[in-house]
Amino acid sequence: MESQPQPQPQPRRPRGFAATAAAAAASVSPTVTPSGSAGASTASSGKGKREREKEKERTKLRERHRRAITSRMLAGLRQYGNFPLPARADMNDVLAALAREAGWTVEPDGTTYRHSPPPQHQQHLGAFPVRSGESPLTATSLKNCSVKATLDCQQPVVRIDDSLSPASLDSVVIAERDTRSEKYPSTSPINSVECLEADQLIQDVHSTEHDNDFTGTQYVPVYVKLSTGFINNFCQLADPDGVRQELSHMNSLNVDGVIVDCWWGIVECWNPQKYVWSGYRELFNYIREFKMKIQVVMAFHEYGRTDSADVLISLPNWILEIGKENQDIFFTDREGRRTTEFLSWGIDKERVLNGRTGVEVYFDFMRSFRTEFDDLFAEGLISAVEIGLGPSGELRYPSFSERMEWRYPGIGEFQCYDKYLQQHLQRAAKLRGHSFWARGPDNAGHYNSRPHETGFFCERGDYDSYYGRFFLHWYAQALMDHADNVLSLANLAFEETKIIVKIPAVYWWYKTSSHAAELTAGYYNPTNQDGYSPVFEVLKKHSVTVKFVCYGLQICSYENDEAFADPEGLSWQVLNSVWDRGLKVAGENTLSCYDKEGCLRIIETAKPRNDPDCRHFSFFVYQQPSPLVQGVICLPDLDYFIKCMHAGDITGDLVP
């Protein structure tokens, strides 16, 4: 009996690298294929390669989309749930936070267990406990709601089966939808048509919960910034009676101290190294009478080049004279327009200022101040010195100057086209081995462009190309080198004195992939980079205190949906990055938000309630409103704000 032939096993189709190798072998050995098939094989290989490239691009797009969604989810958890997630949180951090919120204990190595049974009311509801920042709705906050609408306005709960392990939370935690919420398709029942508007409701909830709840919290000293204009352009005290009146008012409010701007453009106005301090000596004597501390700002920038400014302080006249002959000492945009807000840090080490470099000019000014007021340092009257490192005293490029007709929320422009910074860029490109990269981007738009309108900042734009990454890294490095050079000399001039550096809050376009406004300002902080950590490493080297601008409201008057702005998300990233490096943090309010809710948010930012390490601001600077808004501000009672910061007993209330 003949044996039946055994079926031969089918050869496995090669995959991955094997498939690529097989295709390559077929393309280089067409003679082994039947006649006429060599061309087909080559065409097939080329088509397969194109498909693989397309699939790679689709994968990259899906990954970016996923990261963008993840970023918004994490921002929502931090903003609305007060979850203490790190700046670069991953799913382990999220799961651990959710598990802890459900009553579980999560060890650092991931070991998870329930330490004790949840409270009775939580077992009944099967819900997360209410966080300290999420108080139940009050009768005041719901005064315009019917009883039925009040029930509909309750927060949705997330139910968890206690029998399930925390490891499975990511697959079984489901937000149940109550049948009553079907009437209101909004993502949050708080926005239902029968309830108060969200901003009003949030204000009522926070005010009833926190009005008298700052007693016993950390003491945060409050400094008030003196109005600009008391010292005239001849360095004379222009209004002694006005100074006494303002200091007397501050003293009655128990202010800890005052902030005084020492303007380079006034003190060294007419001739290099000829310093006039007489007006400041008289001002400091007045402050000494009231026994208040002084923080001094070394103001190397211009002030008042806007339509609303009533005082104009330019850079020193002798600097402007040099600038007429050599305009490249100033920052320059792509069109060749110059801004005199600040000297380009391309000349930090160039002897173009009557034989001195930029950093030498700054050092001589700081040393003159330290020598002139040595007695005040010895008394301890001058408690700290803030070093101005850019426009408005902030560490940034003048990328969004109103003099250049920039208007919010424009992305701004790169400021690196003076010949000195261009020479630095050429050296960096040559060192990298790509001399043709020694140029600024030609598709980055203009001051008032939007990211999606440009080829550089749009989704998957050139900012993330090899050239884009090189340029942005160089641009940010120039900013950090400037800070490093100036702070090194500042520490020599002000030994054993606290040094402060002001960091800008460039929050618009923060929710886009490129973070365009931050890039032009000098912070390389797109969604796939952490642009603040390298800056804070430089500041840590000099042991400075970081001062950051706090935006009182979640949505200020500047913001709109088109700007993709997120001031709270930016604050979260910056503050955690600073604190993680052991640096001290201070705050300063904006000149636009003076309402009740805004100040309560600032207090919560200054001393977070849920921080396990009890971190808080080392001090806070209150900027007084300009005369143009004195009559319309919502917070005339500064006494309340200071008592909250001081953690004292609050007997009054803010004027609504």
Active-site residues, by number, are 394, 588
Task: Give the whole-angstrom CA distance, residue 655 versus residue 104.
Answer: 43
CA nearest 329: which of 352, 349, 309? 352
Paired tokens of 242: 């006005």
Task: Give the whole-angstrom CA distance, residue 52 versus residue 206.
Answer: 54
* Residue count (the chain): 656
- Per the listing, tokens 């082994």 go with 32
- Per the listing, tokens 């900042």 go with 457
Report strand pairing: 293-299 vs 382-387.
Answer: parallel
Q: How far is CA 647 from CA 21, 593, 641, 651, in A?
A: 71, 22, 10, 12
DSSP state letters, 310-332 = S--B-S-HHHHHHHHH-GGGEEE
Please answer whether residues 517 and 558 qualify as being in contact, where contact means their C-beta atoms are separated by less than 8 angstroms: no
- Other Cβ atoms less than 10 A from the Cβ of 329: the count is 25
List Cβ neighbours of 215 (8 Å cut-off, separation of 6 or more). Answer: 647, 648, 649, 650
Please answer whether residues 301 and 388 qualify as being in contact, where contact means their C-beta atoms are separated by less than 8 angstroms: yes
Please answer whether residues 645 and 550 qualify as being in contact, where contact means their C-beta atoms are separated by less than 8 angstroms: no
- Other Cβ atoms less than 10 A from the Cβ of 148: the count is 10
Task: Give the whole-angstrom CA distance, residue 19 versus residue 616.
Answer: 58
List Cβ neighbours of 99 (8 Å cut-off, separation of 6 or more). Answer: 106, 112, 166, 169
List Cβ neighbours of 17 (8 Å cut-off, separation of 6 or more). Answer: none
**Alpha helix positions (H), 508-637:** 516-521, 533-541, 567-580, 596-606
C-alpha 106, offset from chain centre: 30
C-alpha 410, offset from chain centre: 17
Euclidean distance between the first and the last CA atom of the chain, given in angstroms as a whole number: 105
Is residue 112 helix, strand or coil?
strand
Longest dimension (CA), the chain: 125
Paired tokens of 50: 């194109």
- Look up residue 453 and give its DSSP letter: G
Is residue 224 helix, strand or coil?
strand
Instruction: State the angle between helix axes of 466-493 and 533-541 in degrees (0 to 180), rounded to the nearest 10.
Output: 20
Please answer whether residues 222 and 642 qualify as being in contact, where contact means their C-beta atoms are separated by less than 8 angstroms: yes
**Cα–Cα–Cα angle for 131, 135, 140, rounded to 5 degrees:** 170
Residue type, 35: S
Please answer whether residues 393 and 225 qualify as being in contact, where contact means their C-beta atoms are separated by less than 8 angstroms: no
Q: Which H or E element spans position 577?
A: helix 567-580
Report strand pairing: 293-299 vs 498-503.
Answer: unpaired
Task: Give the whole-angstrom CA distance, residue 231 versus residue 282.
Answer: 10
Task: Give the whole-angstrom CA distance, residue 564 versus residue 61.
Answer: 20
